[in-house]
Structures are given as structure tokens and as C-alpha cells.
Structure 1
Amino acid sequence: MASGDHPTNRSRTMQARICKALIVGVAMSMLAAVGVSAALPQPAHAAQVITDISYAPAQPAGSRGHLLDLYIPSTGVTPRPLLIWHKGSAWTSDDGKAAADEIAAVFGPLGFAVAGVSVRPSSQAIFPAQVHDIKAAIRWLRANAATYNLDPNRFAMMGDSSGGWLTEMATLSGGVAALEGTVGTTGVSSAVQVGLAFFSPTDFLQMNAQNLPTGGLDHNSPASPESLLVGCPIQTCPATVAQANPMTYVDANDPPLMVLHGQADFLVPHGQSVLLYNRIKAVCGDVTFVSVPGADHMRAQIMDPAHFGTETVYTTTDCTETVRTGTLNPTWANFATHLRAGLKMGTSCEVTYSTGAWNGAFNGSVVIRNTGTTPISGWAVTWAWTGNQQITTAWNATVTQTGTQVTARDAGHNSYIGPGSSQSLGFSATATGSNPIPAQFQVNNLPCTRVTL
């Protein structure tokens, strides 16, 4: 046991926290100020917003660290993919679900449900409590997926700053029993299938050395956010700090991860994401690192169009690295593409539609081609009639029709569509009068290029 881990020393550290309260207050105010989210439209699309769901009993009583908000959209096929959001606060807030409405305003129209999740702050519980909490929330959401029409096999996570750290911990430590904890629902997987993290800390011990030449926070201070998180001045308890380092849990089987960091980050050094990228690259993992010049510790600056075309993008997959400049702007559309790829929902598609008609009825064929670079695993193709067409039977798919809206789901044996590959379905239907071709087809909520024969 390191000297900093001794109970007596922990008591002295707690006394030091009180003596240094003013320092902590200043640091936290700075971090809270730069964590302000970019203004986004409100989620008017949401069919249902459920707030303050208890995913575990409050601990301590009356606290809010075990609550989540759930935004269920009115659009898209079901069951819906889920995007879990946690807003950073230097581990000082029990309201990490804040700003989830802004995330839902972007991803709800794309068919995603969004869960804003809070965890306990470091003032209430030290590490690994925060990881135990997020995993408990994920387990609760998966256990209750059927209730809210969520797809338990398509969970993504996103967060910024300490929320980015929590995202990386959840994404990279799937299956690590020591980090599961016993909070709330147990016996259910806490894995997520893809992650996206903004300006996250990783190796606390190297943060001071990586500070900008103009300065930064003293991360080695007993009153630093990192020291308060682990319950000891970080340089005195390296073993504990290593357990809080996302890099500790990296292996080649981890889900895909995107990390974004500004080169002018004054609070969490840009080098923290460099370390994580290099670690994942070393094990032939799947990671994209977007390095943005001139951007500080704000999501609005990372996504500022003024920086478009200047970012350096490092990608490693299948033991192959690609380095490009200005080819992946940090936009919501590109983030959605990354999440869809990780969830195997498809990123580009083509649908070929053909019919053969006779009096009052017709047969139809729909061929779905994956024109993206990642596989589709499980698909639902949707379209809308403009006439009185009514499907009577189908093959190679389970087809349902409500009014003019049609949804055709894979039949199991044909659920996988690799890049450049296709699957098809057929149907018979009745129709009188005109029988126009549907204007648009979507696969897993993704609009496809339409080809007619």
C-alpha cells in the first residue's frame, strides 16, 4: 500500500481539503465556466421526456448522483439505439445529466434515444465510485430496455472533460470485474458499443509536465480535481491513480472510440489524448483522434467552423494508421457517422426498388446495398406509400404496415450486410389507381440513395 493510501494520511488529506477550500473553489469555477455547452435547439421532437429516474438508491440520502433523464424521440424505427451523455464538471457536480436535452435535440431526430446520467461527485465519494455509478446506470438502462423500446445491443456514450474521462472508462473497461461495483442493478452487462470523448484527462501523473508553456492548473496539488477524485495527492498514490487511468484498461477488443482535444487546452493538456491514442494504437485498437489547433477546453471551440480544415486526424484500425489534415471536421453529422459505424447501423446505403404489376396487385423487390465502409448488423428498411398500397405477404423480411408507413426487418438469416454487400426482400401487395415509387427509403434511420428498375 502506498503511503498516500493509509487511512491516517487520508484523514490528513481531508483536513487539507478544508484548508484549501478557496483554491478548490477557484479551480472548480474555472472548470465550470469553460464547460458551458454550445447552444443547440431544444428537443421539440421528443415524444417523451422522463426526468429524475433513480437508477440506484440515493447515496447519501437526498443526493442526486444516482439520477438520469431519458429522452425518447417520436421518430425512427424501434427498438432505438441509445446515446448516454455525461457533462463534465471536474468531478464536482452531481448533475452530470445536465445538457442532455441539447444532445437529444441533435440525435433524437436521427432516431436515437438519449439518457443524461449523473454520478456522485468527489465530495461525496472518491474513485472508483464514479465508474461504479455509470456502470450501474448502463446496467439499469439495459435491464429496462424493453420498457422504453431501447436496443440493448446498441448503447453509445459521449461526454466532455471529466465526462469524457467517464466515457473512456466505460468504453474501455467493459468486462473488468473490479470496476463493476455493487451499485443498483447487477447481473446485466455494463458494456457500451462505441464512445466519443471530448478533451478528457487520462494519466493524471503527467498532466503538470504537459501543461502549456503559459501555465495551467497545478494537478499535483492536494486540492486539484484529480487529487480530490482519488482521495490523495496524486503523486503520493500512483497505484490508485493508475486504476483511474483509462489507458490501464485498453486492449485490442475494445469498442471503437473517438477522442477530440484542442491544442490550446489550458485545463486538461492536449497531450493526455495523445497518450491514449498511442496506447490504443500500440495494441492495434480502433480509435480516431481529432486534434484541433487553437481550441481551448470548450466543446464550442472544438466544433468552431473557424477551425474546419485545420484539424489533424489520426486514425488507427486493424493495425493500420492514417494521418490526415482537415478531412474530418468535428461536426454533429460526423459524430453521428462515428456512432452509427460503432453500433453497426450503417453509414451509407443504396436501395434498388422494382415491381411487377397485374390487375389490382403487384410484387415488389427491395435490395439493400451497404455502400459504407463498416458492416450493418441487423437492419430495418422503411418507406412510405403515397397511394393505397397494402402489403399482403412478404419473404426474407418481417414486414409491418401502419397506414402508409412500412417497416421491413431482417429475417435473422440475412441480418448482416458487409461493406459493398447486399441483402434483399420481396413482397406482394394490393393497389388500385396509381402506384408511384416511394420517394425515399431509410435503413436504420439512414436515408439511402434510391435506384429504380
Structure 2
Amino acid sequence: MKRLTALVAGVCAAVLSVVMTATLPHQAAAATLAEVTGFGANPGNLRMHVYVPDNRPARPAIVLAMHGCGGSGPGLYSGSEFASLADRYGFIVIYPSASKKGNCFDSWSAESHVRGGGSDPVSLMSMVTYTLQRYGGDADRVYVTGTSAGGMETNIMLGNYPDVFKAGAAFMGVPHSCFANEADYIPSPGASNCASGRISKTPQQWGDLVRAAYPGYTGARPRVQLWHGTNDTLVYYAALQQEIDQWTNVFGLSQTPTGTDTPQANWNRRRYADPAGTVKVEAYSIQGAGHSLPMSGMAAAAVQFFGLTGGGPTSTPTPPAGACRVTYTPDSWNNGFTAAVTIANTGTTAVSGWTLTWTWPGNQQITNAWNATVSQQGAQVTARNAAYNATIAAGTAVTFGLQATYSGTNSAPTQFALNGTACALAT
């Protein structure tokens, strides 16, 4: 709900028929974010953008990626790591834009809680259907993710269309059908019963809400990855346990994890595997984080969970040792500063096209940049190469600069990711 309303910042034959008979909409060029119109039934009045990487297999996977309240599809494209990961692994990303309640995806209406009920979920399914048909996508590799309002909608889509999605990753979400109605979808911290975690249900009751979304369905269910910051004061951390209760019950699993670990500093992970050892649900508690996910490296962990990196869906991404090193050198004054950022390729192969991401630990706001295109969404920053410095040969480095404002303490970022892979920090 990225400030819920912004502290701002089946697929049925009828739908297929509309998509197949409609005039071809604007076609997205490769490696360019492009808007698509006329993609099919659109009761939610959503907009659709799609990113199609230059290099992709004949039947590419598809990831539906949804923004938080007050955001947009293009904003999530420029402010997250999913596009650079798409370039690296060859999947297509759909970036929808919501239109309700300050650009929030509808997870509160009765229509949104059931398969084919109408509102935003049906519009989103039209986008998936269009993309599968237009680009020859692999129907066995369709995934969904989202942050805040988009994380809530991720749980909705996984429950409504379990036969379409193979896995999903919900950042800062709430359980499926948690909101009783629109009146509970309130933008103030602590005001919503659902977002504050005050709704008390047993795992069975939470699971029943998912089963009611597609009555009689007995097929396979998509695996679920859940993320939440322990200091989230907008969508309370208590919602994470409710999501765990819901999805473990749907899978018929115990609410006691089969394994726990810390893949990275402050990332506490619980895993819930079936008797065969396949992880069906995994949940990340990010220590000290507020309503600011995903941070650097988290999109890569989601894509790894989907199984799109070649390492299998149940393993944790391990960045190649010494592949990159970042030097961050700030020069501060009063309430402003400049910073030089150097990316060194310490690996053995060239980097062709780069995206560097990080999360500010304070309230820094970028105002200008040079030698890179830099965008910011909340605390997350994305820097993309210029045309003249896109290649970083092995053993070489590139440097770009930025100017920004701040108040309080101008703390440096503690983690950088290059094309979705964590880099070492120069000391």
C-alpha cells in the first residue's frame, strides 16, 4: 500500500475471444518499456506496460509486477531491479498501473475476491493472456509479484488463479480476502483492521478464504514467497504471520517451519516444505526495515525462488565471489551533497549493460546525476548506464555522480547490487 493510498509515494473464453479478435494494440519494442492498449477485458480500468528483453528464449517466462499505492507501472520499472533481471534471464515483465483510491490495486471488493469476479484481477488476467499470445510466452512459467498494494494483489491473484501462476512473491502484503470491504482500506497507519493485523482468524479460516476464491479447485497451487519489515508501521508486521498461516494451511502444512536461516544480514527466513522437501512457502522477516521493500537484492531472491535463474526454485541466490565492487564517496554540506559512485568489474567477463541499485538508509532525495540515468522510488534508487559507458570490461571500472538533498544524518548505503547481484563495498 506504499502509504496505502500513498504516503507516496477463468481466464475465460470470453476474454480469449476479445484478445484474439481485437485490433492489434501498440506493440512493445524489444528492450523498451512500451504501453499496450486494447489488451482485452479491462473492468478495472488499468493501464498496461510491458518490457520485452532483447535476448529471450522462444517461449519466455512472464512476470506480472505490481506497484504500491500512489505508484505506476513505469515507476516500478524504473525504481526496481526486475527489468535488469529480465535482461539477464530472458523473461518478460508486465507492469500494470492501478486507477482506484490513489492508484491502489483492488484487493478489498467482493469482485476481487473470486475468480472471474471482475475489477482489477480480471484486467490483470487479460494482460497475462495477451502477453502469452503476443510473445509466445510459456504458460507453465507465469509468475506474479508486487509491493504493498501490489503485494496484496499478488496474494489475490495466487488465490483466484492458481492454475495460471506457478509462484508468487508478495512484499508487504496482507492475506487474501483480508479486507472485508472498501471501508477498511484506510490510508492512515493503524486505522485499517486488516493492515494493522487486528483481524483474528485461525489458519483454517484464512485458508478457507483462498479456497472460496476458486470453489472446487483441486489442482496444484503456486508456491508463495512472503516479505515484510519488522518495523513496518503502515502494513503491520503481524500481517506476515497471517499470510504464513493462510498459505501453509492451503498447502496442508504445519505452521512450524521446516527450516530457518539468515541468507543475508538482517534477512531472517522461515521455510515450509512438503514431505518431498519442496519449499511451498517461505517467509522473510527483514530486521529493522519499515514500509520500504523490496530493497537491493530482494527482487533477485524472488526471481530465484521462481526458478528463473537456472539454480532451481528452492535454493538461495549466491552472488559470484568478487564479481563487482562499489566505491561510494560522498561530499556533504548543510542539507545537500554530491557523491561519486565507482563500479569495478572484478570478475572475469565483461558486463554488457548495467543497472546499479541501492536503498538509502535515510531521507536522501536525488536531484541530479551525470554519467548515468538515475531514478528514485521511495528509498530505492536505480542507476542505469549511459550509452557510452554500458560495457564494463573485466578488470575495469566506470564512475558516475549524483547530487542530492537530505536532513538529519547523511548515512551511506550499506549494500549495492549490480544487475541484481550484490557487490562488495570498497573500504
TM-score (ref. length: structure 2): 0.48
Between Structure 1 and Structure 2, the one with more helix by share is 1
TM-score (ref. length: structure 1): 0.45
When Rg is computed on C-alpha atoms for both structures, the one with the higher figure is 1
